[in-house]
Amino acid sequence: MGSAVRRLGQIIAFSAIVLLSSCGDEPKKSAPVETPRPAPQPKMQLVETPRFDSNSAYNYIQKQVDFGPRVPNTDAQKACAKWLESELKSFGLEVITQKAKVTAYNNKELDIYNIMGRYKPEAEKRILLCAHWDTRPYADRDTENRNKPIDGANDGASGVGVLLELARAVASDSNKPNIGFDIVFFDAEDYGQPQSSMVGSGDNTYCLGSQYWSTNIPIEAYKPAYGILLDMVGAANATFPKEQVSMEYAPEVMNKVWDLAHTMGHKNYFKMYIGNPITDDHLYLYQLGSIPTIDIIHYEMTRHDFGSFHHTHADNMDIISKKTLQVVGDVLLQVIYQE
pLDDT of residue 325: 99
Handedness of CA 281, 73, 154, 98 (dihedral sign): positive
Is residue 125 over pLDDT 70? yes
Give the β-pairing of 240-242 and 109-119.
Answer: unpaired
Is residue 14 over pLDDT 60? no
pLDDT of residue 195: 64
CB 77 within 8 A of CB 188: no
Is residue 283 over pLDDT 60? yes
Q: In the chain, pLDDT over 90 holds for what percent of residues? A: 82
CA gyration radius, the chain: 18
Residue-wise pLDDT for 302-323, tens only, equals: 988 999 999 999 999 999 999 9
Identity (one letter) of the amino acid at 302? T
Lowest mean pLDDT among 25-29, 96-100, 280-284: 25-29
Mean pLDDT of 72-76: 98
Rounded to whole angstroms, the maximal C-alpha distance in the chain is 55
d(CA 335, CA 256) in angstroms, rounded, equals 9
Is residue 5 over pLDDT 50? no
d(CA 209, CA 207) in angstroms, rounded, equals 5
d(CA 157, CA 210) in angstroms, rounded, equals 16
Query: How many C-beta neighbours within 10 Å does residue 30 have?
Result: 6
pLDDT of residue 27: 36
pLDDT band at 290 (very low <50, low <70, confident <90, very high): very high
Is residue 39 over pLDDT 60? no
Residue-wise pLDDT for 246-258, tens only, equals: 999 999 999 999 9
CB 252 within 8 A of CB 319: no
Is residue 31 over pLDDT 50? no
Mean pLDDT of 92-104: 98
pLDDT of residue 43: 66
pLDDT of residue 16: 38
pLDDT band at 38 (very low <50, low <70, confident <90, very high): low
| Higher pLDDT, residue 4 or 281 | 281
Mean pLDDT of 174-190: 96
Q: Please state, rounded to an integer, the average pLDDT across all residues of the chain.
A: 89
pLDDT of residue 199: 34
Residue-wise pLDDT for 156-177, tens only, equals: 999 999 999 999 999 999 999 9
Mean pLDDT of 99-122: 97
d(CA 151, CA 171) in angstroms, rounded, equals 29
Residue-wise pLDDT for 193-239, tens only, equals: 886 434 334 479 999 999 999 999 999 999 999 999 999 999 999 99
